[in-house]
């Protein structure tokens, strides 16, 4: 199985989404005229072809697949998006040096098809349901679908582990989405309106809109619900990943807000 493949609109589902259940798939949105793309491309290909590589590199010419680029919110190239277990789990934009790309790869969760390499907890070789890494990934998958109520029990009373910090950051996001689903932000005030807008945007994966609404809530009422807007923003940063351009941009803006 080739570790570097060319993908288009027609075979994206099978070559990227379906394939990501076996191992991570990095999608490199690039174009022939893009100078930074020519810098990053060889780095990604070299890493993909390393003997112990745990990912497939799928190259998408964004000029020839504009609908696909629009579907996945590509606004600048190179744009590398990581898919695991059928979900978009992380991404970065721009030509990154090799050490940064390696760190990005190390943060990716394991694909379900690699569960045989993990200590099994039952007879079918799957990771235990309460395994912290598996539990955290399940919560991430649910949050990416906007399902905070289902993610809540996976994040509450989270066992002490390397994943605990990430789970604690995601917990306010899950609670926020669940509260919105249960119509707890149905007041007529401006803060509740901003919360509704943010929750709706998260469900549509319009994270820029969501972060803008939450940041506006932070500025309008910095003591409202014990800084809930800030905690939800931090949860979104964790969900998107530190390398996401939205995380970098809005973390700076959040840092400038005075609580």
CATH number of the domain located at residue range(s) 4-114 in this protein: 3.40.30.10
Q: Are the CB atoms for 119 and 112 separated by under 8 Å?
A: no
pLDDT at 127 over 50: no
Q: Tell which wins on pLDDT, 254 or 42.
A: 42
Q: Taking phi first (over 0 means left), then psi (-120 to 50 degrees means alpha), and beta for anything else, what does residue 25 get? A: beta
Give the per-residue pLDDT at 122: 46
pTM of structure: 0.52
**Token pair 């509450």: residue:** 156
Determine the pLDDT at residue 75.
82
The torsion angles phi and psi of 57, rounded to 5 degrees, stand at -100, 120
Given a cut of 60, whether residue 119 has pLDDT beyond it is no
Q: Which part of the chain has CATH 3.40.30.10?
A: 4-114
24, 96, 108, 116 from 103: Cα distances, Å: 14, 11, 9, 24
Which are the catalytic amino acids? 34, 37
pLDDT at 77 over 80: yes
């Amino acid at each position: 199985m080739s570790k570097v493949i060319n993908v288009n609109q027609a075979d994206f589902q099978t070559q990227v989404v379906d394939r990501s259940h076996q191992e991570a798939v990095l999608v490199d949105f690039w174009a022939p005229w893009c100078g930074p793309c020519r810098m990053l491309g060889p780095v990604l290909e070299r890493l993909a072809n390393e003997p112990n590589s745990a990912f497939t590199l799928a190259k998408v010419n964004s000029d020839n697949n504009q609908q696909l680029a629009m579907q996945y919110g590509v606004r600048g190239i190179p744009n590398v998006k990581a898919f695991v277990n059928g979900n978009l789990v992380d991404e970065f934009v721009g030509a990154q040096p090799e050490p940064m790309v390696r760190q990005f790869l190390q943060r990716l969760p394991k694909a379900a098809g690699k569960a045989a390499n993990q200590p099994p907890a039952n007879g079918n070789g799957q990771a235990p349901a309460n395994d912290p890494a598996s539990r955290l990934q399940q919560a991430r998958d649910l949050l990416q679908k906007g399902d905070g109520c289902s993610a809540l029990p996976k994040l509450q009373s989270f066992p002490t582990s390397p994943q605990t910090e990430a789970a604690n950051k995601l917990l306010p996001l899950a609670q926020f989405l669940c509260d919105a689903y249960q119509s707890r932000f149905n007041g007529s005030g401006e803060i509740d309106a901003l919360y509704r807008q943010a929750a709706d945007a998260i469900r549509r994966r319009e994270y820029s809109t969501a972060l803008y609404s939450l940041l506006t809530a932070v500025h309008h009422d910095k003591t409202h619900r014990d800084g809930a807007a800030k905690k939800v923003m931090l949860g979104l940063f964790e969900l998107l990943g530190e390398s996401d351009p939205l995380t970098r941009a809005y973390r700076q803006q959040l840092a400038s807000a005075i609580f």
